[in-house]
A and B are shown apart, each in its own frame.
Chain A
Amino acid sequence: MGRMRCFSLLLALLVACGAEDPRPATVEVISVEILAPACGAPQCHSTSTNQSGYAFDTLATAKAALKQLVGTGGGERHNLMEVLTANGGKLMPPDAPLDPQDITLIETWINNGAKGL
């Protein structure tokens, strides 16, 4: 009974946390709102520099990059999630990592099938 109560409480907390982020987990929101300002600066992953072959400064370039980094989606942690969550020198962005809520939204989008690419 106690375990059930704890589980219910945890579930309620998770639902409450999810409700705090009203943003739709779409490729448009992820690309334009999150990845473009964080990753797509001209000196980094922009069309002009295209570091490591990825650009995120526009929706079109971000979609092309995400196709490589996410693949077909389906719940696995793909390359994108690895660099966003790596604990060490390979963490991206290297100077100002993403907010955990942004990472959660990206992961939700991937787990939902990475639609829109």
Chain B
Amino acid sequence: MRTIVFVVAALAAASVSRRAAAYPQYQLDSEKTCTGCHLAPDGGGILNENGTNTAETTAWRGGNGQWMYGMSKPSWLDLGGDVRGAAGYVNAGASSAAGYPMQAEVSANVHWNGFSVFAIGGLRRPQDQGSAIHALWSREHYVMWQSNPEDHEGFYIRVGRLLPTFGLRLAEHVVYTQRYGGYPLYGEVYAVAASYVKDAFEVHAAGFIHDPIASAEEHGNGGALYAEARLGDHAAVGAEAKYSASDDAHRTYGGLTGKLYLPGPKLQLLGEAQVIRQDFVAAASDKVTQLAAYALASHPFGGGFLLDVGAGHFTEDTRVKGLFRDCLDAQMHWFQTSHLEWLLSARVELLDLGSHTNGGYLLAQIHYRL
């Protein structure tokens, strides 16, 4: 029993939490751009009208996909929110039960002509022995201007706290290219970000400083760049770069993404590979090169189901022979309604091509979108 309690506490709001994110698994199947379904130029957060319609048609029993099932609100106001939790077991040498909250956030967007103010806030784990007030925080809050507010294409400028656009941006942060790469959970920073989104291509650039008040994953200041070009209706390639300089290390990220949708079998393939270079400030001679890669095959099928099968690779330090890990993931999403998603996710992690088994997990998640 003590073991269970310990693991529950250790994993509280921890390892497999997700953010309010987009599902790039659907990108080339329906809309080419994130703005086809989301207010933000890089996806995530509040859905637009087409996004709620897509949620309705994708789900088993769609219902009314609008906020709170169509509750009336002023036309200048968009509202959203997400609640997530998970339970299951993890295996890190021995199996242990695990259960934890992952997300409880509400979001609001006030818009007027091309300008809008967006904020998402909610709960996070407070500091041990600290004030409960620290459990309240806002991951993102920014002012945005867009050139064509009635269209999904155009310029977007954002100033505030946000997560710079980078890579595939899958919902599960445990994806190796996000966990070890340039798009980590709680990696939000204060940034000036510019995006140009067209059906044919999109470019995102951001200059940022780390949050000096609320501890975040990103401790450095720098910039991020992501560009993606669509090749026809069902393929896209992207390139990414990021630089971050903190008191401890200077990190440079470079990578490529690829997306391919096969209409016949309704199969979407997603891939990302990153090279990460770290120069440690306190140990100038110690320069580390890391490799992170992830590939995902995704297949939607009747009744609101979406099956993901993924594989990841992470080389922690290319100088050290055998210092890498791989994982195999399987996830079954079930969009029961346009507001309710069930997710069964499993991972097996291996070290050094299976010479060491590093465990894994099997978790059932529930996600309710307001």
Q: Contact residue range for chain A?
A: 35 or more
Let me know if A43 and B124 touch, CB within 8 A. Answer: yes
**With the chains together, A44 CA to B215 CA distance in Å?**
11
**With the chains together, A100 CA to B6 CA distance in Å?**
23
Contact with B along A34-54 (1 / 0, CB 8 A): 001100011110111111110
Which of A1-9, A64-72, A86-94, A106-114 contacts the other chain? Answer: A86-94
Let me know if A43 and B283 touch, CB within 8 A. Answer: no
Does B29 touch A at the CB level, under 8 Å?
A: no
**With the chains together, A99 CA to B350 CA distance in Å?**
10
Does B4 touch A at the CB level, under 8 Å?
A: yes
Distance from A49 Cβ to chain B, minimum over Cβ atoms (Å): 5
Let me know if B11 and A94 touch, CB within 8 A. Answer: yes
Complex interface: chain B residues within 8 A of A20 (CB):
320-322
**With the chains together, A96 CA to B360 CA distance in Å?**
7
Complex interface: chain B residues within 8 A of A32 (CB):
248-249, 278, 280, 282-283
Question: Residue of B at shortest CB range from A42?
Answer: B186
Complex interface: chain A residues within 8 A of B288 (CB):
33
**With the chains together, A46 CA to B210 CA distance in Å?**
15
Q: Which residues of A contact B (CB under 8 A)?
A: 20-24, 26, 28-29, 31-33, 36-37, 41-44, 46-53, 57-59, 86-97, 99-102
Let me know if B320 and A101 touch, CB within 8 A. Answer: yes
Could you name 7 residue pairs across A and B whose Cβ atoms are closer than 8 Å? A28-B283, A44-B14, A47-B215, A50-B128, A95-B14, A96-B15, A101-B322
A43: contacting residue among B17, B93, B325, B352, CB under 8 A: B17
Known A-B contacts A26-B283, A41-B217; A88 and B94 likewise in contact (beta carbons under 8 Å): yes
Does B147 touch A at the CB level, under 8 Å?
A: no
Let me know if B3 and A89 touch, CB within 8 A. Answer: yes
Question: Residue of B at shortest CB range from A100?
Answer: B356
**With the chains together, A26 CA to B6 CA distance in Å?**
30
Total contacts A-B at CB 8 Å: 153
**With the chains together, A80 CA to B15 CA distance in Å?**
20
Known A-B contacts A59-B282, A89-B4; A23 and B127 likewise in contact (beta carbons under 8 Å): no
Complex interface: chain B residues within 8 A of A95 (CB):
11, 14-16, 90, 92, 174, 359, 361
Let me know if B125 and A89 touch, CB within 8 A. Answer: no
Contact with A along B179-220 (1 / 0, CB 8 A): 010001110000000000000000000000000001111010
Let me know if A94 and B3 touch, CB within 8 A. Answer: no
Distance from B30 Cβ to chain A, minimum over Cβ atoms (Å): 32
Distance from A48 Cβ to chain B, minimum over Cβ atoms (Å): 3
Which has the most chain B C-beta neighbours within 10 Å: A28, A37, A42, A101? A42
Question: Residue of B at shortest CB range from A95?
Answer: B15
Known A-B contacts A20-B322, A100-B356, A101-B322; A42 and B185 likewise in contact (beta carbons under 8 Å): yes
Distance from A32 Cβ to chain B, minimum over Cβ atoms (Å): 5
A23: contacting residue among B126, B278, B317, B361, CB under 8 A: B317
Does B7 touch A at the CB level, under 8 Å?
A: yes
B215: contacting residue among A23, A29, A48, A87, CB under 8 A: A48
Let me know if A46 and B215 touch, CB within 8 A. Answer: yes
Complex interface: chain B residues within 8 A of A37 (CB):
180
Complex interface: chain B residues within 8 A of A88 (CB):
3, 93-94, 96
Contact with A along B303-335 (1 / 0, CB 8 A): 000000000000011011111010000000000
Question: Residue of A at shortest CB range from B282?
Answer: A28
**With the chains together, A87 CA to B349 CA distance in Å?**
16
Which has the most chain A C-beta neighbours within 10 Å: B129, B246, B320? B320
Complex interface: chain B residues within 8 A of A58 (CB):
219, 246-248
